[in-house]
Amino acid sequence: MATRADFLSRIRKEVRRTPGLFPASTAIPPDRPSEAAAAIRRQMSERWPEALERFKQEFERVSGVFHRVTHIEEVPGVIQALAREKDARELITWEPGELGLDLRPHLEPQGLSVTVAPSDAQDGARLSYREAAARAQIGVTGADFVLAETGTLILISGSGRPRSTSLLPETHITIFGKERMLETLEQVGVVLEDLHVDPTGTMSGAVINFITGPSRTADIELTLTRGVHGPKEVHAIFVESL
Amino acid sequence: MRHLPSSLKIPFPERAGAALKDASLQEALTNATTKFIGLRKDAFASLPQGDLLRDRARAIKEATLERLDYYLEMLADNVERLGGRVHWAATGEEARDIILQLCGDRGVKTVVKSKSMATEEIELNEALEHAGVTPVETDLGEYIIQLAREKPSHIIVPAIHKTKGQVAVLFSHALKGRFAADPEVLTAVARKELRQKFLQADMGITGANFAVAETGTIVLVTNEGNGRMVTSLPRIHVALMGIEKVIPSMTDLVVFLAILARSATGQKLSVYTTLVRGPRQHGELEGPEEFHLVLMGSGRSNQISGELREALYCLRCGACLNVCPVYRQIGGHAYGYTYPGPIGILLTAMLNGDHAVKDLAHASSLCGACHEVCPVRIDIPRMLIELRQRLDRERIAPLAERGVFRVFGRVLASPTLFRLSATLGRMAQRPFVREGRLGSLPLVFGKWTKTRDLPPVASRTFSERWKELR
């Protein structure tokens, strides 16, 4: 096996021969990512209605289903209707604090089983959540950012926000408010820089997922088919008062 | 390479010839490549800053290679800081051994894989099977290919050459059932079958589309969601990547994301872009306990300042395959190596040496379509010409070919010889001209006219007419 030192010294030797070969520069990251991210948030607090309209358009173009409600109290009703439509009996959700609401008191009386993610990661909890995720027909999450120009939901994994909630069930539902809106990939770049300024701070989990519509494939005769491994349906519920 | 792929026992012209006679392959290739060309075109039409982003992406690749040692160290330090382990593999063999040893030490029985050309390149599946580990490809196209025991024929759509009927037969055989030749049905069958594998596997193996040095992040771009499964469910995650995949920052990453999916499938973004930093972090319920990053130098390290260095910018989007008049006719298998198409010829030269591309170097009309669509503007035709020159210089090209071109070169360089050969040619060609074309020539020249006409020497050459016109 090559050692790190050997490997890198070989690369270094090659690199020393490159001056003059490349007329190059990298993209320039923002000087102060936190300030740049704050500026984007200020900008978006004005521009969110246009961004939301664009998001709806792009999200629907990638076969997402968009819902809009006034208050968070209306969300359980939307989810309940979807569960009935899909004949779903089991749901999994992010931890209520992370999600912004606890669906259990609303949906359990309706005969639905709701498993919420625990905030502490014990081995027992790990297994039981995984089993629930594998059984559930619907997974409910929040979103950290919502990108208008591509119709993309951006979710950061972490305590109380498991990765499988948006992955294993056939239907994924995301709940979000206006302060999550971003317009461009370029803004996403700034926000990602900001998230990694203090690697132990803002971000706890190991994974950031960009989700642009339901899982899809065209591997058999180029026929577009949804839900090959991930969800067949993705719903986004925009809550005005959030 | 331990051994030549079995496909290479037949010479390239015969492999290509067989592909040309395969009617269903021809139809599949035309449909797929035409569709992708259209999708890509539409996707860039809606991106006014597309050209600027492509320039920027190229510059990032150049700048990163120029300081590759620095960025690789930074990447390795950050991955380790996050609790991952970094392995250094100078060759493909070393990369295989590292992964096999991880499997052995940790009692790994089943591995789920998301699509990775790097693992294809080192023939990891064969090595795993040999070691008693079961590898399961989980990208639908790769799964089909694995069941058929074939190789991918397109970088993005590996089973481009298979019909739904063939897939139905394969699935029925392998999974002991009877399944309709309907993509919807077959996809559902694969979902059910592979879901169990994801939940049971001990190890997930992925490649990496990008690796961000400043944050220690591996980036996977998929449409099916298998990349997410493979990096979330098994207890060990191993990512194998060529050293050229590293980029400096998140700001750089979004530049590539804006053009990658557009070039590959015409999507604005692929369905899933997954950014992974190390193993499961504190407080996380899910994710692997162990994260291993295998950095592979194989064939790449000594090209950083080499003649093929531009090929190191390649994003593996497949756009150059779709537009290539040669690929569109012969498909991926005829090339015989892991990477097909115009960029594949260069990557094969890089990874398998110049002898491997003795014939392949000529499997291009040098029309330039690949250069035009490449998201990072790799000048493939220029490198192909240089490659041909090198094959000649190193005496790898066949003797007859070198001889003919040497004579041709002399003739072109001397006005007297040129005029003389025009006169001689005019006489010599007489028996062979049919309807104003040279349709079949004798001897070694017949190889040229077997598949195409040659224009005859004009009855009056330009220089003869020029004298009169003056």
Q: Concatenated DSSP letters for B169-238? A: HHHHHHHTS---S-HHHHHHHHHHHHHHHHHH-SEEEE--SEEETTTTEEEEEESSSHHHHHHHSSSEEE
ipTM over 0.90: yes
On chain A, the residues whose CB falls within 8 A of the CB of B251 are: 26-30, 189-190, 192-193
Name the minimum distance, in Å, from the CA of B340 to any CA of chain A. 18
On chain A, the residues whose CB falls within 8 A of the CB of B225 are: 167, 215, 228-231
pTM of the predicted model, to two decimals? 0.94
Is residue A180 within 8 Å of residue A143, measured between CB atoms? yes
What's the confidence (pLDDT) of residue A201? 52
Are B183 and A209 an interchain contact pair (Cβ–Cβ within 8 Å)?
A: no
The residue to which tokens 């990298």 are assigned:
A26
Q: What is the mean pLDDT of residues A29-55?
A: 96
Is residue B248 within 8 Å of residue B64, measured between CB atoms? yes
- Which one of A3, A193, A215 has the shortest CB-CB distance to B249? A193
**Whole-number percent of chain A with pLDDT over 70:** 97
What's the confidence (pLDDT) of residue B7? 65
What's the confidence (pLDDT) of residue A199? 58
Chain A residue whose CA is closest to B85? A4
Domain map (residue ranges) of chain B? 1-46+303-397, 51-298, 415-469
Is residue B398 within 8 Å of residue B12, measured between CB atoms? no
What's the confidence (pLDDT) of residue B456? 87
**Whole-number percent of chain A with pLDDT over 90:** 85
DSSP tag of B285: S
On chain B, the residues whose CB falls within 8 A of the CB of A219 are: 139-141, 144, 157-159
What's the confidence (pLDDT) of residue A119? 84
- Which one of B157, B233, B255 has the shortest CB-CB distance to A27? B255
On chain B, the residues whose CB falls within 8 A of the CB of A225 are: 183-184, 187
Which two three-digit tokens encode residue B443? 């001897």
Chain A residue whose CA is closest to B253? A189
On chain B, the residues whose CB falls within 8 A of the CB of A157 are: 284, 286-287
Chain B residue whose CA is closest to A206? B277
What's the confidence (pLDDT) of residue B448? 77
Domain map (residue ranges) of chain A? 32-239
Are B140 and A11 an interchain contact pair (Cβ–Cβ within 8 Å)?
A: no
Quote the CA–CA distance of B183 and B162 in Å, as a whole number: 12
Q: What is the mean pLDDT of residues A207-225?
A: 96
Are A229 and B224 an interchain contact pair (Cβ–Cβ within 8 Å)?
A: yes
What's the confidence (pLDDT) of residue A160? 94
Quote the CA–CA distance of B58 and B63 in Å, as a whole number: 9
**Most A CBs within 10 Å, among B46, B96, B285, B379, to test the A interface:** B285
CB pairs under 8 A between A and B: 287
DSSP tag of A216: E
Are B232 and A207 an interchain contact pair (Cβ–Cβ within 8 Å)?
A: yes
Q: Which CATH class is domain B51-298?
A: alpha beta
Q: Does residue A204 register a pLDDT over 80?
A: no
**Contact residues, B window 36-55, toward A, CB-based 8 Å cutoff:** none
pLDDT in tens, A74-98: 999 999 999 999 999 999 999 999 9
- Judged by average pLDDT, the poorest of A168-177, A184-193, B417-426 is B417-426
B199 in contact with chain A, both atoms CB, cutoff 8 A = yes
* pLDDT band with cut points at 50, 70 and 90 for residue A203: low
Per-residue pLDDT in tens (0 to 9) along chain B, 470 residues: 344 455 677 899 999 999 999 999 999 999 999 999 999 999 999 999 999 999 999 999 999 999 999 999 999 999 999 999 999 999 999 999 999 999 999 999 999 999 999 999 999 999 999 999 999 999 999 999 999 999 898 988 999 999 999 999 999 999 999 999 999 999 999 999 999 999 999 999 999 999 999 999 999 999 999 999 999 999 999 999 999 999 999 999 999 999 999 999 999 999 999 999 999 998 899 999 999 999 999 999 999 999 999 999 999 999 999 999 999 999 999 999 999 999 999 999 999 999 999 999 999 999 999 999 999 999 999 999 999 999 999 989 888 888 888 898 999 999 999 889 888 888 888 888 888 888 888 877 787 788 788 888 888 888 888 888 87
Q: What is the mean pLDDT of residues A150-166?
A: 96
pLDDT in tens, B170-199: 999 999 999 999 999 999 999 999 999 999
B219 in contact with chain A, both atoms CB, cutoff 8 A = no
**Most A CBs within 10 Å, among B47, B232, B286, to test the A interface:** B286
| Number of residues in chain B | 470
Are A207 and B89 an interchain contact pair (Cβ–Cβ within 8 Å)?
A: no
Chain A residue whose CA is closest to B158? A219
On chain B, the residues whose CB falls within 8 A of the CB of A234 are: none
Name the minimum distance, in Å, from the CA of B286 to any CA of chain A. 6
Q: What is the mean pLDDT of residues A165-184?
A: 97
| Side chain identity at residue B287, one-letter code | G
* pLDDT band with cut points at 50, 70 and 90 for residue A71: very high
Q: Which architecture does CATH list for B1-46+303-397?
A: Orthogonal Bundle (1.10)
pLDDT in tens, B415-464: 999 889 888 888 888 888 888 888 888 877 787 788 788 888 888 888 88
CATH fold of the domain at A32-239: Rossmann fold (3.40.50)
Residue B95 CA: distances (Å) to CA of B86, B120, B126, B414, B453: 12, 12, 14, 53, 48
On chain B, the residues whose CB falls within 8 A of the CB of A229 are: 138, 191, 194-195, 198, 224-226, 228-229
Q: What is the number of other CB atoms lying within 10 angstroms of the CB of residue B61?
A: 26
- Which one of B228, B251, B275 has the shortest CB-CB distance to A28? B251
Name the minimum distance, in Å, from the CA of A75 to any CA of chain B. 25
Beta partners for B273?
Answer: A210, B221
- Which one of A3, A207, A219 has the shortest CB-CB distance to B157? A219
What's the confidence (pLDDT) of residue B1? 38
